[in-house]
Structure 1
Amino acid sequence: MKANLYSKIRLWSGIIVYIFVCMHLLNHSLGLISIDAMERGRAIFVLIWRNPFGTILLYSSFLAHLSLVLITLANRKSLKMSFGEATQTIFALIFPLGLIMHVMGTRGAHELFNFEDTYQNELYTLWVDQIQFGVMNSILIVLVWFHGTIGLYFWLRFKGWFQKRISYIYALVIILPVTAFLGFVSGGREIKFLYEEGYYIPPKISEEMINTVFQYILIGLTIYLFLILSVFFFRLLKWINRKRHKLIKITYPDGTTVSIEKGTTVLEASRIHGKPHASVCGGKGRCSTCRVRVSFGKEFLEKPSDEEKKVLERVGLNFNTRLACQITPSQDLTITPLLPPDSSIKSSRNVPLYYDGAEQEIAVLFADIRAFTSIAEKKLPYDVVFVLNQYFKTMGKAVEISGGKIDKFIGDGVMALFGIQKTPKEACLSALKAARAMSEGIEDLNFNLREDLDSPIKIGIGIHIGKVILGDMGYADSKSITAIGDSVNTASRLESLNKDFESELLVSKKVLDLAELEQQGFISKEVSIKGRKEPLSICVIEKATNVNIPLL
């Protein structure tokens, strides 16, 4: 609960500071028009942020955000992190150094000495009188901007709408700081011209003002550097204390064991000991890519927090699965990371229960074109591709309207799955409905291509039901949900046997029994299937359109 509260405070305080920076950059961008335009924009900016409410909101947000950055850094069990996290953290630690000087030179001077920190005066200081501060100010803006942008990206990248509009968002991320910098340069060149021509006279700055502002800057920098040193001193004390306590062992699938102190998350354990572990969100509990299956010790773990439950429910994971970034074992644990270390954002989105492997009884359908080689030999390559694409389209639509899922296209063949997360009866009815739709679709296809084909396309279909292993299998971008098992091989064998019976559909009797369909008029046979000890009872159906299926 505390971690969740910290996360929300850090997020929303960061958003407030980011809005402030966005407005600041927009104000700078007006320099592309004129200094007067910048000043008119500044009037609105000051109205929003220099009233009591705006001041309290901004500075409390900044202090809260910085404090939580330091607290998080102090409490991390390991400083190993992704490049994005490391960049964001380094920027977060550096930019307060420049911010202290910038704020004291503008707002501080205004409050203490009633100094008018107008754009004319600031541009003169940063572009003409003290250009080194102008360079530092530009670097500061870049650091703040990209720190906030990285943070927002980590938060929003799991939103579907964000991924759809990411190219436009990237453009804005680049355009705003660029236009702000160009506006700053344009304003600086204008004020330099006005100063050299005598149209602008800079205000006199007293020695007292310079010394006072400098003293406050020195105090601020000293306090901040002390806080950073305190964080690392605290980490040193924790490391010394860790050596005195009993360690907890975590066992990985390859049999290796790592030891951690109590209070360390499983994800931190992987990072500390160099075990590759996916974590798209950086361990903030926003994605599910660090998920693990707990095979031993789950009874000793605390129950999932509300936030972890939401993530687990969103991706449809079972009770043995937990987020590695959210569990802190108090006893020895055996875990299996469920995603490869290089998993992407896509892996964090909604996935079915069988995604990581499950056994289920489903119907499997194979369909293939009879004697396609002889058809292809008489056609140009372009014609072959055209005919095949029309055929695949027909097969795909038949599977989709029947509630099935295309597993893969193999040459001129199709493999489809039916009844995933449904009853066996529904699986069989869906598969038979798809077979009928395929037969009807092929008749229409033959009619439409009658002038392009020397002879009508004929297909063979095989359907069987049984237990298979479902899961996301493959390599890299070629991974997809597929099924393996004896039932898959049986359905494939039935499809190929159609040519022996000169039929269009061979279906195991088990499928028709589970579908509760009338079997009169079908020829019953027993066939030997390679890999099966017992013969398989099947029904030979001349045309798949002969199957009468009730409305599902």
Structure 2
Amino acid sequence: MPVALPAWPDALRSRGLRIWSGTVLGLYLVTHLANVALGLASVAAMDAAAPVLAAPWRSPPGTALLGGALLIHFGLALRALYRRRTLRMGAREAWQVVLGLALPFLIVPHVAATRIEPALTGLAMTFAEQMRTLWLLSPASGGRQGVAMLVAWGHGCFGFWFALRGRPWFPRWTWALYAGALLVPVLALLGFAEAAREIATLPAPAVPLPPPVRRAPSPDTVRLWLYLVFAAPLAAVLAARGLRYWLGRHRRIRVSYPEGRSVSVPRGSSVLEASRMGQVPHVSLCGGRGRCSTCRVRVTDGAAMLPPASVQERHTLARSGAGTGIRLACQLRPTHDLAVMPLFAAARPRGGVVPTRQVGAASHERELAVLFCDLRGFTRRAEDWLPFDTVFLLNRYFEVVGEAVESAGGYLDKFIGDGALALFGLGSGAEVACRQALAAAAGVSRGLHALNADLAADLGGPLRIAMGIHVGPAVVGDMGYGAAVGLTAVGDGINVASRLEGEAKDRDVEAVVSTAVLERAGLPIPAGEAHAIAVRGRSAPVEAVMVQDAATLAAGAGPVPA
């Protein structure tokens, strides 16, 4: 029975605050860097654009919004740091955390000089004065400011990548976003350097500025207090983590997994953190943020003692159609021993060696056995799945196909959506190639049956395959353009195999195999089971056999040469 979706996800507020505060900070950073990039034109252009790009942030509402976003974002980062029971994480996530915690300490001198000091003295600092100070009077400060800019931009890019990568439109805009992420800081650095060089050619101001009227502590005192504002809570969080670890040495729980594995972890750790501490393979495509359901587990023992699911967890489980007893491992923090079974098994390490190319850059005509396979009805079913779940399932399916093809001695040409094209006979005769193609089809069928068994509780119905196998002439060689050049094949055999794969869908069978493949493999053609199939662009039909269960193909194919 699916979990009911609450009317208003209150527990999502911390996530929403983190995203919106990050958006405010990101918008400020983009406008500020755009203003600096105008230094490529002139310092006058920077000052002319400041009323539009910088002045709104210097107004009382803008200052309050920016300062509040910074404090909220930093506070939520400290909260997340404290809640973590293990610091094991992916490289991107680790970089995001390190850059985010370092950033406040890098920007303190700049904030003190450009925002605090002018507010206390009543003397605004123009871009020309900033360039003169950072480039001529204190180059070390200019270098530190450049590093701070790159750290801020890198942290923001990681944050928005984590937040947006699961959106359906994200893959279509990936390259545009990457280009923007690269161009904005590069243009800002070039603008800064060009404006500073322009200032260096101008004479120093002839009339010294009047001494400022100070109404508050010295600049060193201001910077010290700003450092303390950020250092004190960070130190408190680290001390609290150490104290919690010391107190919790004897307050531990045990998380048990299938096959007799178990992990002892401090009470309050999430199940996903327990898996990472115990090096138990556990899928989590969103980084443990509750944005996908690939880490979900079935609680097989101890469910009565579990804390209730948060609204965020219930929201994600409802979207994935999870039933009773299913929890998100990244959100579940048990207080008593329990046993769980991960529903999405982690991908197995591939022990085979990817075959090297057996054909050079020049094109050759060969007789190849061709296998086309495609999932049936997957696009329609994936409409109701979370994007991360769809990616995970496709990768598991691609793993099944890739291992079956490579173990049979074939060459995996390409994946097309949820379909795949495999070639056999690049380095052998057509007879061997046909036996390899049949063995690969059988391996795909067996692997998909095993995958369906692993994910039976979550798929809502088994994944179904359709395959077409044919043998015929093809031109093989490196084809494509630029970075997309790769080994592939074109020819009549490819077209026919593709048509037979479509026929397998229409006739509701796992595979349609041309009689030419069976004859070359040395297999008898069952009497009365060969059908003439019309192929578009071909005058003569193709004789083929319908195979309900492709796993039976390997039984008569004989041994496949290594």
Question: Aligned in 2, Cα 1:265/1:405: closer, same or farther, shift over 3 Å?
Answer: farther
String of CA shifts for 1:224-264, please: whole Å, max 9, x gaps. Answer: 2222211111112211221243x221112342211223322
Give the counterpart letter for 1:395 in structure 2: L
Which residue is 2:534 aligned to? 443
Which residue is 2:148 aligned to? 140
Whole-angstrom distance in 2 between the partners of 1:150 and 1:340: 24
2:101 maps to 1:93 = yes
SS of 1:460's partner is: strand
Mapping 1:228-243, distance limit 5 Å: 228-243=234-249
Whole-angstrom distance in 1 between the partners of 2:243 and 2:504: 63
Whole-angstrom distance in 2 between the partners of 1:263 and 1:295: 19
Which residue is 1:171 aligned to? 179
Do 1:291 and 1:339's aligned partners in 2 also have CA atoms closer than 8 Å?
A: no
Question: Aligned in 2, Cα 1:98/1:387: closer, same or farther, shift over 3 Å?
Answer: closer
% identical aligned pairs = 28
2:199 maps to 1:110 = no
Which residue is 1:181 aligned to? 189
CA RMSD of aligned residues (A): 3.8
State which of 7, 24, 34 in structure 1 corresponds to 2:15. Answer: 7
SS of 1:80's partner is: coil
Whole-angstrom distance in 2 between the partners of 1:242 and 1:199: 63
2:312 maps to 1:307 = yes
* TM superposition shift of 1:23: 0.6
Whole-angstrom distance in 2 between the partners of 1:394 and 1:2: 52
String of CA shifts for 1:441-474, please: whole Å, max 9, x gaps. Answer: x2355xx534xx7xx53222244xxxxxxxxxxx
Do 1:367 and 1:413's aligned partners in 2 also have CA atoms closer than 8 Å?
A: no
Whole-angstrom distance in 2 between the partners of 1:269 and 1:495: 47
Question: Aligned in 2, Cα 1:391/1:191: closer, same or farther, shift over 3 Å?
Answer: same
SS of 1:449's partner is: coil
Give the counterpart letter for 1:166 in structure 2: T
2:499 maps to 1:394 = yes
Question: Aligned in 2, Cα 1:128/1:358: closer, same or farther, shift over 3 Å?
Answer: same
2:136 maps to 1:38 = no
SS of 1:248's partner is: strand
Which residue is 1:266 aligned to? 271
Give the counterpart letter for 1:307 in structure 2: Q
String of CA shifts for 1:141-174, please: whole Å, max 9, x gaps. Answer: 1111111110110110111211121111001001
Do 1:77 and 1:272's aligned partners in 2 also have CA atoms closer than 8 Å?
A: no
* TM superposition shift of 1:321: 3.7
Question: Aligned in 2, Cα 1:407/1:249: closer, same or farther, shift over 3 Å?
Answer: farther
Whole-angstrom distance in 2 between the partners of 1:100 and 1:64: 17
Which residue is 2:297 aligned to? 292
SS of 1:336's partner is: strand
* TM superposition shift of 1:97: 1.1
State which of 389, 397, 412 in structure 2 corresponds to 1:348. Answer: 389
Whole-angstrom distance in 1 between the partners of 2:547 and 2:316: 40
Which residue is 2:233 aligned to? 227
2:262 maps to 1:257 = yes
* TM superposition shift of 1:222: 2.7
SS of 1:259's partner is: strand
Question: Aligned in 2, Cα 1:265/1:390: closer, same or farther, shift over 3 Å?
Answer: same
Whole-angstrom distance in 2 between the partners of 1:86 and 1:163: 23
Whole-angstrom distance in 1 between the partners of 2:273 and 2:463: 40
For structure 2, list consecutive stretches of 5 or more residues without a partner in the other structure. 1-8, 350-385, 395-450, 477-488, 519-528, 558-562
Do 2:499 and 2:535's aligned partners in 1 also have CA atoms closer than 8 Å?
A: no
* TM superposition shift of 1:305: 3.6
Number of residue pairs aligned between Structure 1 and Structure 2:
431
State which of 231, 248, 260 in structure 1 corresponds to 2:253. Answer: 248
Larger RCO, structure (CA 8 Å, separation 6 or more): 2
Which residue is 2:431 aligned to? none
* TM superposition shift of 1:42: 1.2
Whole-angstrom distance in 2 between the partners of 1:411 and 1:92: 63
String of CA shifts for 1:295-331, please: whole Å, max 9, x gaps. Answer: 3333443454443344334445444543210112233
* TM superposition shift of 1:361: 8.6
Which residue is 1:18 aligned to? 26
SS of 1:133's partner is: helix
SS of 1:250's partner is: strand
